[in-house]
Structure 1
Amino acid sequence: MTQPQKIFVTGVTGVTGTVGRQVVTELLARGHAVRALTRDATRAALPDGVEVVQGDLTEPDSLAPALEGVTGLHLITFGGPCFAPLETGPRILELARAAGVRRVTVLHGGGPSLLEDAVRADDGGLDWTVLVPVEFMANALEWADRIAASGEVHEPFVSRLSAMVHEGDIGAVAAVALTEEGHGGREYVITGPELLTVGDKVATLAGARGARIALAELTEEQAIARWRAAGHPEDVVAFLLEAYGNTPEVGRTVVDTVEKVTGKPARTFAQWAADQADAFSVTAPVATA
Structure 2
Amino acid sequence: MILVTGATGHVGRPLVDELLAAGQKVRALSRDPASADLPAEVEVAATADLPLDGVTSVFLVTAAFPGGAAEPIARMREAGVRRIVALSSYSVLDEDPKNMIGVKHRELERQIVDAGVEWTFPRPAGGFAATALEWAEQIRTDGLARSPFRDAQTAPVHERDIAAVAARALLTDDLVGETPLFSGPESLSYGDRARIIGEVTGEPVRFVELTHDEARLEWLHAGIPPHAVEARLRMFAKLVGRPHELSPVAPFLGRPGLTFAQWVSDHANAFRKVTS
Same fold (TM > 0.5): yes
Structure 2 counterparts to residues 34-183 of structure 1, below 5 A: 34-56=26-48, 62-63=49-50, 66-79=51-64, 83=66, 85-95=68-78, 98-99=79-80, 101-108=81-88, 110-113=101-104, 114-123=107-116, 126-134=117-125, 135-183=127-175
How far apart, CA to CA, are the structure 2 residues paired with 1:279 and 1:232?
Answer: 20
5+ long unaligned stretches in structure 2: 90-100
> Which of 4, 13, 17 lines up with 1:9 in the alignment?
4
How far apart, CA to CA, are the structure 1 residues paired with 2:196 and 2:208?
Answer: 16
Task: Map Cα deviations across residues 82-123 of structure 1 (whole Å, 9 max, x no partner).
Answer: x5543425413423xx43x33210011633344321212343
> Which of 275, 278, 282 lines up with 2:273 in the alignment?
282
How far apart, CA to CA, are the structure 1 residues paired with 2:2 and 2:258?
Answer: 24
Tell me the equivalent position of 1:203: 195
5+ long unaligned stretches in structure 1: 1-5, 57-61
Percent identity at matched positions?
A: 38
For residue 79 of structure 1, report the CA deviation from its aligned partner.
4.7
For residue 227 of structure 1, report the CA deviation from its aligned partner.
2.2
Distance change (3 Å), C-alpha of 1:229 and 1:122: closer
Between Structure 1 and Structure 2, how many residues are aligned? 260
Distance change (3 Å), C-alpha of 1:136 and 1:184: same
Letter in 1 for 2:118: D
Letter in 1 for 2:268: A
For residue 33 of structure 1, report the CA deviation from its aligned partner.
1.7
**Residue 152 of structure 2 contacts residue 237 of structure 2 at CA under 8 Å; is this kept in 1?**
yes
**Residue 89 of structure 1 contacts residue 115 of structure 1 at CA under 8 Å; is this kept in 2?**
no
For residue 19 of structure 1, report the CA deviation from its aligned partner.
1.2
- TM-score by length of structure 1 reads 0.82
Q: Is 1:271 matched up with 2:254?
A: no
Letter in 1 for 2:6: G
Task: Map Cα deviations across residues 170-213 of structure 1 (whole Å, 9 max, x no partner).
Answer: 00000000010121111112311111111111111111110211
Q: Is 1:27 matched up with 2:19?
A: yes
> Which of 199, 202, 207 lines up with 1:215 in the alignment?
207
How far apart, CA to CA, are the structure 1 residues paired with 2:253 and 2:40?
Answer: 25
SS at match of 2:37: coil
Letter in 2 for 1:105: V
**Residue 136 of structure 1 contacts residue 166 of structure 1 at CA under 8 Å; is this kept in 2?**
yes
**Residue 201 of structure 2 contacts residue 272 of structure 2 at CA under 8 Å; is this kept in 1?**
yes
